[in-house]
Amino acid sequence: MAQPSHSYINDGTPRNGIVLLPVETGTVPPQCSHLLNPEEFRRQGHQVIDFIADYYASMLGEYPVHPSVNPGFLRRELPADAPLRPERDAFDAALRDVRDLILPGLTHWQSPRHFAHFPASSSTVGALGEALTAGINVVPFTWAASPAATELEMVVVDWLGKALHLPESLMFCGGGGGTLLGTTCEAILCALVAARDRKLADIGSRRIGDLVVYCSDQTHFAFRKAAHIAGIHRDNCREIATCRDDMFALSPAELHAAMQADVDAGLAPLFLCATVGTTQTTAVDPIRELSAVAAAHGAWVHFRHVIDGVEAVDSFSTNAHKWLLANNDCCALWVMRPSLLVAALRTEQEYILKDVAAEGHDVVDYKDWSVTLTRRFRALKLWLVLRCYGVEGLRAHVRSHLRMAASFESMVRADARFEVTVATQFALVCFRLRSPEKLGGEKTANELNRRLLKEVNATGSGPYMSSAMVGGIYMLRCAVGSTLTEEQHVREAWKVVQDQAASLLRKMEINYSVVAE
Amino acid sequence: MAQPSHSYINDGTPRNGIVLLPVETGTVPPQCSHLLNPEEFRRQGHQVIDFIADYYASMLGEYPVHPSVNPGFLRRELPADAPLRPERDAFDAALRDVRDLILPGLTHWQSPRHFAHFPASSSTVGALGEALTAGINVVPFTWAASPAATELEMVVVDWLGKALHLPESLMFCGGGGGTLLGTTCEAILCALVAARDRKLADIGSRRIGDLVVYCSDQTHFAFRKAAHIAGIHRDNCREIATCRDDMFALSPAELHAAMQADVDAGLAPLFLCATVGTTQTTAVDPIRELSAVAAAHGAWVHFRHVIDGVEAVDSFSTNAHKWLLANNDCCALWVMRPSLLVAALRTEQEYILKDVAAEGHDVVDYKDWSVTLTRRFRALKLWLVLRCYGVEGLRAHVRSHLRMAASFESMVRADARFEVTVATQFALVCFRLRSPEKLGGEKTANELNRRLLKEVNATGSGPYMSSAMVGGIYMLRCAVGSTLTEEQHVREAWKVVQDQAASLLRKMEINYSVVAE
């Protein structure tokens, strides 16, 4: 591929550094109309749709979920510079490269054999909603900057909130309100900054160093990261220890003790991040009790996922791109008092056209609800998903995964060599090979299970799972959640685990006395 | 539309609050295979492609750029709840509603007559890159979580950096590195947090209240917002005044004075955000001189856009979704020392499968380069754009806008009733009706131009522009940047401005002595 010659710069260096600006005056006027030519779009668009459909229909099943590649494998294959001019039929050539160079090196999150992490659920409508959004390409940062996009967002967060049985106080229809952000990390950061500003207004704006945030040792690290970004001192993040006997749930008594100790030390409890369905083991924090403890200290309570006691929280977020068929990215955040969010994230200095409409009560300028100004029209996708599958359709989708996870769990329980390490509450099964008695010790068991996971994932044609280390126990995680996963994939996955375990135990000369439970 | 009946909950309230989970045991197993059925995807996908192509071909030209609607117009039209079950042919019905209900209420950013804000440039390949990304739907938060996606991102940020003539120190090939985020706001926030942590490590981790950040009164408010989110006290953000004589550029002497005053007061200069092409008037800050001042105080220097003196900066960001045909969203951030970014944004507690590859030097885990964990495979889109249009194609695209802006500027200059308020440096023309002598005063002129913009935007069939208020002067902004904008649209836009001005001046009985310059 040709190296850029930079011939447009007379002396080889950028004039004023603005290298994209014209230097020569005799340039032939370019024909830019092809850049968004409807007929070219139609032709290439149909190609892309067929490409994706073929990926779902056949390619996805053929690739290992996780590629066997080494770092640098792709960087070495690609030229060091962008082409100065496109090659002939560049789009066709690029699609071929996607197929031949890129797809074989991806981890296929949509594979029916992807059981790692948590799913990134896809659907026909979710994917096409993204395509439509990208095609229309509006930027609804204020109501005026795209009224219908803003209003659809207001409608759809209320729709989703009602489907999740959130209290009306978190919805527009009840005086609260919601927005669609990219990720949980953003949602927590926004809620945290709003809470921080409210607290600092109470205790003095210079006391940021005294603010303390609370979570459990199971809380997703997105929370600690958000707290750090928001300027909370790393020493002021209390990770309250959980234990296996409590199913790794955050203890209200421990939270109370921690908050009281901080108050006694002259510090200010700021924020509690509780979770229903933690990342490692889907532990469920007791929301109602925790909220009561936090309320006594005037701390903001943010929850992730759907829970009993949600009436008491200040904010709530859930990822529609995780289980609700809205392809990446789409995280809904609801707050009881939008004005606190706006106070923290508003932008004083405006360059935009002030619309008279902006004075009205029905107007939301979503740029003041998030970190970012430029934002995508995510509501279109979520609206299409809710419209085309219905609330019952989403429920059926989630239930099918719960059923498959229950099925996997019962297969694990039926094999005496294995144990389910944490009772399955959602669609994540945490399990491991039991610690062999004659070898003893968790360390040995951990090593054994680490090897097991490695062997399982190395099969290529088998499942791809991840792991967790909780309370000193290493466990395998089988998270059922890919849209294409069916009962047969779960059964096959378990078969591969059993086969690899048998082979590993044989190699290591370990014998269990196999007794079905 | 039917209200959700919640019939799946026996007593009408969510059991354990987990409303998406099954309660009944006798549910019929749902058929979820249709959710990602390749043939359904193919059929509906072709519909969506044709829908978008038709939008470009005809609908875009027919709609007013900015709809004449009042707040609540769409919320009133839509049901208060999501459907429990989809209606028959829900997808077709939903597409009809997009056409009939939603499109008429959008601000059409892709209209060739959209001259407001800054453009959100679209291209065939950019839109289809998004569609492809959404279809494949991987989550490249670590190298292991999708090796090819991570490596393509590393390749493409170097490609773009070279095309922009960035110093190698900001690129992977020179020991730095880049990433693709959603927006400038995120990019600045990440750089700011990295700078903050480095500085606090130097001066003491409890001194966040002493950190001071610097910008000009022209700097985009995204910077102040990012600083606020990062815990910098609002009193510690120095907005250095600019003036019209300096073309609203940030003065190195003023910066030096501000920094010195802060140091004398026991404060710590942290961060300078300079800009090439400010939002209001595309003012250009003198990067090299400013960097020298900042360096003397150990402050991190971040620049937006492409500039002379970039060798001296710590980080640099530019939006590929603004002018470089990569549909929303896509902001490239480069840093000279990625380790500082990772130190600030890394996540200590891991649940992911540790891959042996993660030990290697070629491995980048992009989750540690940004606020968010979940991230989209944006590199695919940008790679396709660079591949299919080439660096020269992007340059030609940018140049065509510069040419059209120059053309608009010369038309303004040829009409003695108008003045160009700030000399055009990029593709933004700032202009206004001159202050009529007999009326006098900037306030009157501002009011006159405010009315003019309102009239221009109200024509519906005409252009849509926005405004700026700089140095007490209200001006109209004509930002050329939509992919579909051609010379004729610029001429027509100017004609509408002239006609509306004439009509307004007639109504107000204002006479200029019209003399061509």
Residue of B36, B44, B101, B103 to mutate for A, most A C-beta atoms under 10 A:
B36
Averaged pLDDT for residues A88-117: 96
Question: Among residues 470-509 of chain B, which lie with CB inside 8 Å of chain A?
Answer: 483-484, 486
- Nearest-CA distance B298 → chain A (Å): 20
A216 and A240 Cβ atoms separated by less than 8 Å: yes
- B335 located within any domain: yes
- Residue B53: pLDDT above 60? yes
Is B67's CB within 8 Å of A225's CB?
A: no
Nearest to A75 among B154, B231, B350 (CB): B154
- Residue A350: pLDDT above 60? no
Q: Does A88 touch chain B (CB under 8 A)?
A: no
Chain B positions touching A32 (Cβ under 8 A) are 396-397, 400, 483
pLDDT digits (tens, 9 = 90+) for B422-474: 999 889 999 999 977 656 678 889 999 999 999 999 999 999 999 999 988 99
Residue of A18, A233, A324, A488 to mutate for B, most B C-beta atoms under 10 A:
A18
Nearest to A44 among B124, B189, B348 (CB): B124
Task: Say how many domains are in chain A.
Answer: 1
Question: Among residues 162-221 of chain B, which lie with CB inside 8 Å of chain A?
Answer: 162-165, 173, 182-186, 189, 193, 196, 205-206, 208-209, 221
Task: Reduce the secondary structure of B397-431 to three states and give it as a string.
Answer: HHHHHHHHHHHHHHHHHCCCCEEEEECCCCCEEEE
A312 and A302 Cβ atoms separated by less than 8 Å: no
- Residue A98: pLDDT above 50? yes
Which residues lie closer than 8 Å to B497 by C-beta, 6 or more apart?
B452, B456, B463, B476
- B291 located within any domain: yes
Burial A248-257 (b: 16+ CB within 10 A, else e): bbbbbebbbe
Chain A positions touching B72 (Cβ under 8 A) are 151, 362
B209 and B233 Cβ atoms separated by less than 8 Å: yes
Nearest chain B residue to A481, by CA: B32
Task: Reduce the secondary structure of B259-277 to three states and give it as a string.
Answer: HHHHHHCCCEEEEEEEEEC
Residue of A54, A123, A124, A345 to mutate for B, most B C-beta atoms under 10 A:
A124
How much is the pLDDT for B228? 95
Query: Is residue B130 very low, low, confident or very high in pLDDT (cuts 50, 70, 90)?
Result: very high
Chain B positions touching A395 (Cβ under 8 A) are 8, 20, 22
How much is the pLDDT for B119? 84
Is A397's CB within 8 Å of B484's CB?
A: no
Chain A positions touching B383 (Cβ under 8 A) are 94
Is A71's CB within 8 Å of B280's CB?
A: no
- Residue A438: pLDDT above 80? no
Chain B positions touching A70 (Cβ under 8 A) are 357, 360
Lowest-confidence pick of A87-91, A308-312, B383-387: A308-312
- Nearest-CA distance A513 → chain B (Å): 30
Chain A positions touching B360 (Cβ under 8 A) are 70-71
- B79 located within any domain: no
- B418 located within any domain: no
- Nearest-CA distance A436 → chain B (Å): 24
Q: Does A62 touch chain B (CB under 8 A)?
A: no
Averaged pLDDT for residues B71-86: 96
DSSP A358-419: GGSTT---GGGGSS-SS---HHHHHHHHHHHHHHHHHHHHHHHHHHHHHHHHHHHHTSTTEE
How much is the pLDDT for A5? 28
Nearest chain B residue to A7, by CA: B392
- Residue A133: pLDDT above 90? yes
- Residue A516: pLDDT above 50? no
Comparing B148 with A23, the larger pLDDT belongs to B148
Nearest to A233 among B93, B205, B466 (CB): B205
- A345 located within any domain: yes
Q: Which of A307-321, B266-280, B296-310 has the highest mean pLDDT?
A: B266-280
- Nearest-CA distance A227 → chain B (Å): 9
Nearest to A151 among B75, B363, B399 (CB): B75
Averaged pLDDT for residues B119-148: 94
What is chain A's alpha carbon radius of gyration, rounded to the nearest angstrom?
26
Distance (Å, whole) CA A41 – CA B54: 10
Q: Which of A276-280, A391-395, B342-346 has the highest mean pLDDT?
A: A391-395
Chain A positions touching B426 (Cβ under 8 A) are 21
Q: Please give the DSSP secondary-structure letter assigned to residue A476.
A: E
Two structure tokens written together for B469:
């208020």
Query: Is residue A13 very low, low, confident or very high in pLDDT (cuts 50, 70, 90)?
Result: very low
Distance (Å, whole) CA A98 – CA A162: 41
How much is the pLDDT for B90? 96
> Domain of A300?
139-376
- A214 located within any domain: yes
A483 and B35 Cβ atoms separated by less than 8 Å: yes
Residue of A58, A106, A430 to mutate for B, most B C-beta atoms under 10 A:
A106
A362 and B72 Cβ atoms separated by less than 8 Å: yes
Query: Is residue B490 very low, low, confident or very high in pLDDT (cuts 50, 70, 90)?
Result: very high
> For the domain that residue A228 is a member of, what is the CATH number?
3.40.640.10
How much is the pLDDT for A23? 35
Is A14's CB within 8 Å of B205's CB?
A: no
How much is the pLDDT for A4? 30
How much is the pLDDT for B513? 61
Distance (Å, whole) CA A484 – CA A230: 39
- A340 located within any domain: yes
How much is the pLDDT for B508? 87
- Nearest-CA distance A275 → chain B (Å): 13
Is A35's CB within 8 Å of B397's CB?
A: yes
Q: Which phi-psi region, left, alpha or beta, contains residue A291 (left: φ > 0; alpha: ψ -120 to 50)?
A: alpha
Chain B positions touching A66 (Cβ under 8 A) are 144
- Residue B365: pLDDT above 70? yes
Sort B488 into a burial class: Cβ within 10 Å, 0-12 / 13-18 / 19+. Answer: exposed
Mean pLDDT, chain A, as a whole number? 87
A274 and A249 Cβ atoms separated by less than 8 Å: no
How much is the pLDDT for A33? 61
How much is the pLDDT for A32? 45
Query: Is residue A303 very low, low, confident or very high in pLDDT (cuts 50, 70, 90)?
Result: confident
> At which residue do the structure tokens 């099925």 appear?
A407
CB pairs under 8 A between A and B: 633
Averaged pLDDT for residues B52-57: 96
Averaged pLDDT for residues B40-57: 97
Chain A positions touching B228 (Cβ under 8 A) are 193, 344
pLDDT > 70: percent of chain B: 88
Which residues lie closer than 8 Å to B74 by C-beta, 6 or more apart?
A147, A148, A151, A152, A155, B101, B102, B105
- Residue B284: pLDDT above 50? yes
Question: Among residues 92-121 of chain A, which lie with CB inside 8 Å of chain B?
Answer: 93-94, 98, 101-110, 116-117, 120
CA A314, distance to chain mean position in Å, is 21
- Residue B353: pLDDT above 70? no
pLDDT > 90: percent of chain A: 72
Nearest chain A residue to B40, by CA: A124
Question: Among residues 236-275 of chain A, which lie with CB inside 8 Å of chain B?
Answer: none
Nearest chain B residue to A80, by CA: B159
Question: Among residues 25-54 of chain A, which lie with CB inside 8 Å of chain B?
Answer: 27, 29-30, 32-42, 44-46, 48-54
Averaged pLDDT for residues B98-110: 96
pLDDT digits (tens, 9 = 90+) for B208-251: 999 999 999 999 888 999 999 999 999 999 999 999 888 899 99
Query: Is residue A309 very low, low, confident or very high in pLDDT (cuts 50, 70, 90)?
Result: low
- Residue B2: pLDDT above 80? no
Q: Report CA-CA distances (Å) from B46 to A43, A451, B49.
A: 10, 46, 5
Comparing B382 with B513, the larger pLDDT belongs to B382
Q: Please give the DSSP secondary-structure letter assigned to residue B508.
A: T
pLDDT digits (tens, 9 = 90+) for B189-212: 999 999 999 999 999 999 999 999
- The ipTM (two decimal places) reads 0.90
Report the DSSP beta bridge partners of residue B78.
none
pLDDT digits (tens, 9 = 90+) for A399-413: 999 999 999 999 999
Q: Which of B318, B324, B277 is nearest to B121 (CA)?
A: B324
Is B400's CB within 8 Å of A19's CB?
A: no
Averaged pLDDT for residues B168-186: 93
How much is the pLDDT for A442? 82
- B191 located within any domain: yes
